[in-house]
Structure 1
Amino acid sequence: MVVYKQDSNKLIPFVDDTIARWTTPTAMVDYESVAAGDKFGNVWIVRCPEKTSAEADEPGSEAHLISREYLNGAPNRLNLMAHFFAQDIPTSICKTALVVGGPDVLLWGGLQGTIGVLIPFVAREDADFFQTLEMHMRSEDPPLAGRDHLLYRGYYVPVKGVIDGDLCERYLLLPSGKKQMIAGELDRSVREIERKISLARTRSAF
């Protein structure tokens, strides 16, 4: 990220990433956060530390920023908030609301025609529920090729801060016995789990 200083008429880099990325699309999530993808099929979100952002906006901070260059780069580093291997190469990404009155989501499109959505969890309870469901689905619904799901989604960088909604939705396709077993582990009924999966999609996306 760079900041423009009107007095010196300069664009000064004040924070950069620890990894050199082959970025394809980018989109601002908020004032400090950016969502992006790369040519290897990764989607991620990085965030500038709030203190660093505030210091860069202060008038007269250009001398301080230039003098603190580190290893030929910016003096500060972005924090990786989320990382996910999507398999398709992202070509566009934007922040938008797909449902009237619904929350803002990150909608991205891929080179092979993939349309994906990153939906934020507002309640901690929902995040814990889907994280536990994802963990059970990894063991109860192994892929045909026999690959480990966690290794696959973290193909280049370990997956972080993202729950695989495609895997969670495969709960609807499981045999009745496996559905009952997972529902017992989650201390919920099968109908309740299916309803939460459907609501997660319809309330935020399509």
Structure 2
Amino acid sequence: MKARSAIEVVAKHRGGAVAVCALGMAANEWWAVTEGEDAFYMHGAMGFAASFALGLALSLPDAPVWLINADGSLCMNLGCLLTEASQAPKNLKHFVVDNQVYQTVGALPMVNQGRTDYATIAKGAGIAKTRTIESLDVLEREMPDIASEEGPSFTVLRVEPETGFLRTPPMTYEGPEMKYRFGRAMEKRFGIKVFGPQGY
């Protein structure tokens, strides 16, 4: 299945979940489908989306948090799976878009390409609800249950690699503007204080 098609199906079932997107392909595709300002798009910190999403889920236990990760970013921080399993946030769902390449740097092959089973790694780390989905039909069928099940859960979306460099343009803002857009959206939605009196 194509990454865009998979993201469209996932986004359709998101409901009110707060999304955290790994840098590169995952963030670009999520933005292209949703243009959601209540999502955090990781920039310049490969691997840290998982840690950010876990912290968000723990600090907002009543808010569903969906992590839209990518295989490259996951491999930069495999230890996140141990922490997710240990903390076991019921409101966290971890999706990994697995295209087996580093898409945004010209589709260079992933380390150990085609032989790594991320769902098995997650299960071994202690996350009980894991799965790998390889077709759009199965994803359409499984997503209602994935969306409604109690976390933590871990879902690998096996998608086709794209050969085009940055085929999907990134969102139109980044850095400080992204921080403030997301922070203000969280303040408004949850009635919390994200920024201090100095505004940062």
For the superposition of Structure 1 and Structure 2, which TM-score range results when normalised by the shorter chain? under 0.3
Higher relative contact order (CA 8 A, sep 6+): 2
**More helix per residue:** 2
**More strand per residue:** 1
